[in-house]
Amino acid sequence: MDAVFKALSDPTRRALLDSLRDKSGQSLTELEAGLGMTRFGVMKHLRVLEDANLVVTRKAGRFKHHYLNALPIQEVADRWMAPYAKPLARFALDLKNALEGTRTMADKPDFVLETYIRTTPKALWDAIVNPDTTQLYYYGSRIETTLKPGSPFRYVGQDGNSMLNGEILEVVPEKRLATTFNPNWLPGAATTKIVYEIEPLGEVVKLTVTHYEIAKAAGAAEGWQMIFAGLKTYLETGKPLNIPTPA
């Protein structure tokens, strides 16, 4: 958490985060032009933001694209804001504004979220695909799937209704899961794609979700924030994170 406060203390770094909030997936050249700084200066500040996990990167061809990762800010908010009873609906709106930027090029993702969880790849994988576990952090919904490529899946709420569904595209147990994403809360919404990636790093595991064309699934960005926070809390404490669904 100290690294997050350090990263946010500098106005130039805050400007970089603002720039990535407004336009996700920018290259170093774009960020350099937007700030009017030298390439070295921008790289130096980006390194601090990456060390704090506030910026994550993905390569597409010879370009390296940068994305705002607001999850550490969520964790700061959970610790320092929640006790002062900031209305959750307002907080969700803030997260939406922070995470949903303009549409990006079709050849690269337009939403990337990362977190580090003190667990094992096996336990994390089980939490993602086990219906008894998903209901503890995925808005009370149980996942239903055979986990075979080409097969359907859905998340079913306590009322028996399906919150979202899709098709399993790729399964590499304890490493990678790719699916389509059809939000049932948006009648007629276009199909998008998500990818979970699991990477062990010593005592922790890095979990990354990449959501392509997330702008077609309104509300998904803040949803991922809540899901990641709940998943991390459950795996590290054994208890669900009791956050009500935003209005």
Q: How far is Cα 210 from Cα 193, in angstroms, rounded to an integer?
A: 8
pLDDT digits (tens, 9 = 90+) for 10-44: 888 888 988 888 888 888 988 988 787 788 989 99
User: Three-state SS string across 197-242, please?
Assistant: EEEEECCEEEEEEEEECHHHCCCHHHHHHHHHHHHHHHHHHCCCCC
Handedness of CA 132, 138, 140, 143 (dihedral sign): negative
What are the per-10-residue average pLDDT scores of the chain (247 residues)?
Answer: 84 88 86 83 91 87 85 68 47 47 49 92 97 94 94 93 94 95 89 94 93 87 88 93 58
Instruction: Record the tokens describing residue 220, joined without a space.
Output: 């998904």
Instruction: Record the tokens describing residue 151, joined without a space.
Output: 């097969």
CATH code for the domain defined by 2-99? 1.10.10.10
Residue for token digits 């979700």?
209
CATH 3.30.530.20 domain range(s) in the chain: 112-237
**Side-chain-side CA neighbours of residue 98 (13 Å):** 22
CATH 1.10.10.10 domain range(s) in the chain: 2-99
Neighbours of 196 (CB within 10 A): 19
What integer pLDDT is reported at residue 151 of this predicted model?
Answer: 94
Tell me which architecture the domain covering 112-237 has in CATH.
Answer: 2-Layer Sandwich (3.30)
pLDDT digits (tens, 9 = 90+) for 138-169: 999 999 999 999 999 999 998 999 999 999 99
Q: How far is Cα 231 from Cα 187, in angstroms, rounded to an integer?
A: 27
Q: Quick one: which of 35, 9, 228 has its CA closest to 138?
A: 228
